[in-house]
Amino acid sequence: MKVLLSTLNSKYIHTALSLRYLKAFAEKETDVEIEIAEYTINQNINHIIGEIYRKMPDVLAFSVYIWNVSEILSISEAIKMLLPDVKIVLGGPEVSFETESLIAENSAVDIVISGEGEISFAEVLVALRGEKPLSTVLGITYRDGDCAVVNPSRTELADLSEIPDVYSGDLEEYENKIIYYESSRGCPFNCKFCLSSTIKGVRFFDIERVKRDLKRFLDAKVKQVKFIDRTFNAKKAHAMEVLRYILENDNGYTNFHFEITAHLLDDEMMELLSTLPPGLVQFEIGVQSTNSETIDAINRTTDFERLSKSVAKLRSLQNIHLHLDLIAGLPHEDYRSFEKSFNDVYSLKPEKLQLGFLKLLKGSSLRAERELHGFKFIDRAPYEVLENRYMPYSDMLRIKDIEELVEVYGNEKDFEKTVSYMIENIYRSPFRFYEALSEYWRENGHYESPHSKVVQYKLLKEFAEKKHGSDIDMMTELLRFDFVRNTRSPNVPEFLGGKSGELSKEEKYLLLRDEEMRNRYFGDVDERDYNKLHKKLHFEKFKYSMDGEPLESVYMFDYSVSERELQKSRVLDIKDELERVMRCLG
């Protein structure tokens, strides 16, 4: 029996951990040989159908999520027409609920696995070989003629060590890809919008197994390991042991992404985090809303005051990339309430503010309350809420416009000085700044096509000129500073002053050959490397200091920072050094 496990990832750099678990567990429990074939939602669907057809599987099993369910159902329909005897099995969070209707509406689907699939999938393969009836396999719904038979549910795997190691072999397939990894399953919280609330309790993989896997990732120098633990720091001792291990074995390249709950961080954890090198870890922190009525309605455990203090401490360490999440469309959150939530979170100054929109996932508690809150949504993946009793669709559209500009002008940090100046000195509110900018973009048709980075700078300058012309000199200088800081070997566009701020060749030569300056900023760099370093340096004069004062300033931009660092260049004020070397020349 030839078995093919497949899915469509959302991006090429992603990998499906679920397929590897299913393959490893089933091959341990049976003598069936299983092949994995991963595709992406960006590939032509006919190409995928052709690739699967050429493999001629007897059993075709898909891992299904909201981003790929439509394509997988279409592929299943085509494969069933071409290979009528193939058994098609679906599993994953998107198909774990409403399984009877799924089979009734999709004649190509033979079996659906609900919940955790390792044991059920292995038993399905045994049944398909005729060694046991499908009626005895817990946790599945299967086709019997025109009927769907729903078997009793299966409890979760109690001992995660029963799942074989899936990273013991060659890791070449993960080159330039993200490894998705879990050290625990389940979540201690019960947020109504999340499917994790359907699984009670938290189970952990053995810490020695986790360390072995981490060692393999570090030795292979994979680019990123993204933990999919729902709350990585739910068990403090476990989290600290993982963090200590990656610190002790840091290879200077691999970084690790964790979802954490900020209010669980204590002084001991903060002390450990303070020792991490910049860029080794990223933390994603779900805030979702700061409206207390909203927090209660979604059954979320959040102490925003404690969370804010924890985030402030993390920010002060200057070594951890922080992602904070908000969700628009939640109960009791109207447009102005969302504005407050946005401003509260933006003021914490995360590296990335991820603004999402509520999705009523199958199986979630909030989906069952759709009439209570007046949720309007299209009942097909991704089930995104269009409007509710508290926020009309017109306001949701305004927030979508704002979200796009937060991605462009906020999260990339390419405009940090300029945007901060406009928020602090003109709008006094992050939300009102993005609201005004989004209205300008909408009025001028800028949402209708993508823009290069240079054009994004130009559009922000045009907005500043038309709306706040009296400050345009200062804002142009800030834009030029942002451009140079974030552009290696910058060719400053004319609308930002062109070459007007560059130092002369003589000035650059004197600075680079000055012994005092070299010792101050590059004392640990040997002669050979220092001679190469000048190619990664840029010098620029400005009419203003970057704290807003109308004082001429001179900065050196050092682009020799590592990929893991939280900035694209190191910026040094060298006005005094330039004046000194020029005096010596005179």
Q: What is the mean pLDDT of residues 276-290?
A: 96
pLDDT digits (tens, 9 = 90+) for 408-418: 999 988 999 99
pLDDT digits (tens, 9 = 90+) for 219-275: 999 999 999 999 999 999 999 999 999 999 999 999 999 999 998 999 999 999 999
Cα dihedral 515, 521, 525, 529, rounded to 10, equals -80
Q: What is the mean pLDDT of residues 292-296?
A: 95
User: Beta-carbon neighbour count of residue 168 at 10 Å?
Assistant: 11
- The pLDDT value given to residue 208: 97
User: Beta-carbon neighbour count of residue 506 at 10 Å?
Assistant: 11
Q: What are phi and psi of 75, to 5 degrees?
A: -65, -40
Under a CB-based contact definition with an 8 Å cutoff, are residues 192 and 298 in contact? yes
Chain mean pLDDT for the chain: 93
Which two structure tokens, joined as six digits, stand for 243? 């963090």
Query: Cα separation of 148 and 140, whole Å?
Result: 10
CA atoms in the 13 A half-sphere facing the CB of 318: 2
DSSP state of 161: G
Tell me: pLDDT of 527 over 70.
no
Higher confidence at residue 199 or residue 483?
483
Closest to 373 (Cα-Cα) out of 385, 390, 358: 390
Band of residue 565 on the pLDDT scale cut at 50, 70, 90 = confident
Residue with tokens 């961080």: 265
Tell me: pLDDT of 547 over 80.
no
Tell me: pLDDT of 586 over 70.
no
Distances (CA, A) of 526 to 230, 517, 529: 46, 14, 6
Band of residue 528 on the pLDDT scale cut at 50, 70, 90 = low
Q: What is the mean pLDDT of residues 268-289?
A: 96
Distances (CA, A) of 44 to 1, 11, 173: 28, 13, 22
Query: Cα separation of 415 and 411, whole Å?
Result: 9
Query: Cα separation of 140 and 523, whole Å?
Result: 66
Closest to 393 (Cα-Cα) out of 355, 357, 424, 427: 357
pLDDT digits (tens, 9 = 90+) for 60-77: 999 999 999 999 999 999
- The pLDDT value given to residue 333: 98
Q: What is the mean pLDDT of residues 287-293?
A: 96
Tell me: pLDDT of 533 over 80.
no
Query: Cα separation of 24 and 288, whole Å?
Result: 36
Residue with tokens 């068990």: 235
- The pLDDT value given to residue 368: 93
Query: Cα separation of 342 and 337, whole Å?
Result: 9
Query: Cα separation of 196 and 188, whole Å?
Result: 9
Closest to 328 (Cα-Cα) out of 261, 381, 398: 398
The amino acid at residue 150 is V
- Kindly report the pTM of this predicted structure: 0.92
- The domains found in the chain, sorted by start residue, are 3-150 (3.40.50.280), 173-391 (3.80.30.20), 413-495 (no CATH), 505-585 (no CATH)
Under a CB-based contact definition with an 8 Å cutoff, are residues 436 and 475 in contact? no
Which helix (H) or strand (E) segment holds residue 357: the answer is strand 352-357
Q: What is the CA radius of gyration of the chain?
A: 28
Under a CB-based contact definition with an 8 Å cutoff, are residues 290 and 251 in contact? no
Residue with tokens 């000129």: 465
B/e letters for 510-540, b = 16+ CB within 10 Å, e = fewer, are: bbbebeebbeebbeeeeeeeeeebeeebbbb
Residues paired with residue 34 on neighbouring β-strands, in sequence order: 3
Query: Cα separation of 327 and 194, whole Å?
Result: 12
Under a CB-based contact definition with an 8 Å cutoff, are residues 21 and 120 in contact? no
Query: Cα separation of 239 and 231, whole Å?
Result: 10
Band of residue 488 on the pLDDT scale cut at 50, 70, 90 = confident
Under a CB-based contact definition with an 8 Å cutoff, are residues 12 and 151 in contact? no
Q: What is the mean pLDDT of residues 272-287?
A: 96
Under a CB-based contact definition with an 8 Å cutoff, are residues 155 and 118 in contact? no
